[in-house]
Amino acid sequence: MKIISTIDELRDQLRGQLRTAFVPTMGNLHEGHLSLMRLARKHGDPVVASIFVNRLQFGPNEDFDKYPRTFQADVEKLEKEGVYVLFAPTEKDLYPEPQEYRVQPPDMLGNTLEGEFRPGFFNGVCTVVTKLFSCVQPRVAVFGKKDYQQLMIVRNMARQFALPTEIIGAETYRAEDGLALSSRNMYLSAEERAEAPALYQALNFVAGEMRAGHLDIFSVERDAMDQLAKRGWKPDYISIRKRIDLQPPSAGDLAQGAPLVVLAAAKLGTTRLIDNLEI
């Protein structure tokens, strides 16, 4: 595996490649990330991964400085997966001058759910993904469904800008007890880790209520949040949305059986976890 930090060297290495499959990450790789690499290989060759902790998507009170960085262990894992190139730029490599041009998603999608609780987050995501796509120029790129809203925003962005990159969504990789794998899980204490699957259980409660015909979505959402709060969580949201645009479903949508997804974000101790479940 070639480890490359500069844009010019990356472009030289990939020149002439027409089937590149790309998996952008922020490092601290776990089995969920590695499953994305395997899916990427099914859709293209060579596989290029990136590791870059993107400052633009962190708020002023978020965990940029303490975000886990495990570069050597990440390299070993990617080598075992047969990744061809690891693009690991420094901030100076990717942002040699202040990144004053930004990519802004539409308010309707970018300022709801995660965007409401993390202002500017999707601005930072869209900007770095656009720049990474420009550097790698992949035919396909793989993103995990755990970050459901992010996947939708990136997919819409690629379509509206007519980018020559197909966005592929990978199913959420879960531990045996249902917890979605996440780099932030390492912040959990042993006691918190034992409690953490309750978030997925709350999603399953909502899905079960909806399938049983309980269509008062606000009541169902509130009950699920109350259940978590009683267990010591601090929920930001548990929200039932239409898969097609992540807007709240109308009575007509529910009557017609519109495909839905329930999304959640909640703090357990000091660790904020997100998850979702398609209904």
DSSP structure string for 172-236: PPB-TTSPBP-GGGGGS-HHHHHHTTHHHHHHHHHHHHHHTT---HHHHHHHHHHHHHHTT-EEE
Task: For the beta carbon of residue 22, count every other beta carbon within 10 angstroms.
Answer: 27
pLDDT tens digit string along 180-226? 999 999 999 999 999 999 999 999 999 999 999 988 999 999 999 99
Structural element, H or E, at residue 268: strand 260-268
Read off the pLDDT of each residue in 248-271 and give the average, rounded to a whole number: 96
Question: Does 43 score more than 90 pLDDT?
Answer: yes
DSSP tag of 253: H
Task: For the beta carbon of residue 117, count every other beta carbon within 10 angstroms.
Answer: 14
Give, in order, the Cα–Cα distances in Å from 24 to each of 61, 85, 189: 24, 12, 28
| CA end-to-end span of the chain | 40
pLDDT tens digit string along 58-67? 988 888 988 8
Residue 253 one-letter amino acid: D
Burial class (CB in 10 A: 0-12, 13-18, 19+), 80: exposed
Give, in order, the Cα–Cα distances in Å from 184 to each of 129, 151, 273: 21, 19, 8
Q: Is 33 a catalytic residue?
A: yes
